[in-house]
Amino acid sequence: MTALAERLLALWQQPVDGRADPEAAFRELYADPVSINGAPTPVRELVERARALQRSFSGLATELVDEV
């Protein structure tokens, strides 16, 4: 797995509020706004999505099947 993939997965899997500035951490890897399904989405919404994902699933794990 590349360093970039590891950093991206860490954003979504490690506790969002364990970071001093979660939005800054996401901005290191995502444009602000980032286009999701053609809609501009602010980084603050990505941070909220990560929080919701972490609240919804305990023991969340990701398997990278292929990397292009």
Question: What is the pLDDT tens value at each position of the chain, 68 positions in all?
Answer: 799 999 999 999 999 999 999 999 999 999 999 999 999 999 999 999 999 999 998 887 888 898 88
Residue 61 lies in a domain: no
**pLDDT for the residue numbered 59:** 81
Task: Name the domain count of the chain.
Answer: 1
Would 26 be classed as within a structural domain? yes
pTM for this entry: 0.85
Q: Read out DSSP for 2-68? A: -HHHHHHHHHHHS-GGGSS-HHHHHHTTS-SSEEETTEEE-HHHHHHHHHHHHHH-TT---------
Q: Residue 35's CB: how many other CB atoms inside 10 A? A: 9
Q: Can you give the residue range of the structural domain that contains 22? A: 3-56
The pLDDT of residue 38 = 97
Residue 18 covered by a domain: yes
Query: Is 9 part of any domain?
Result: yes
Structure tokens at 68: 């292009």
**pLDDT attached to residue 58:** 85
Indicate whether 45 belongs to any domain: yes
Q: What does the alpha-carbon distance between residue 12 and residue 62 come to, in Å, rounded to a whole number?
A: 10
Q: Tell me, yes or no, whether 47 lies in a domain.
A: yes
Residue 68 lies in a domain: no
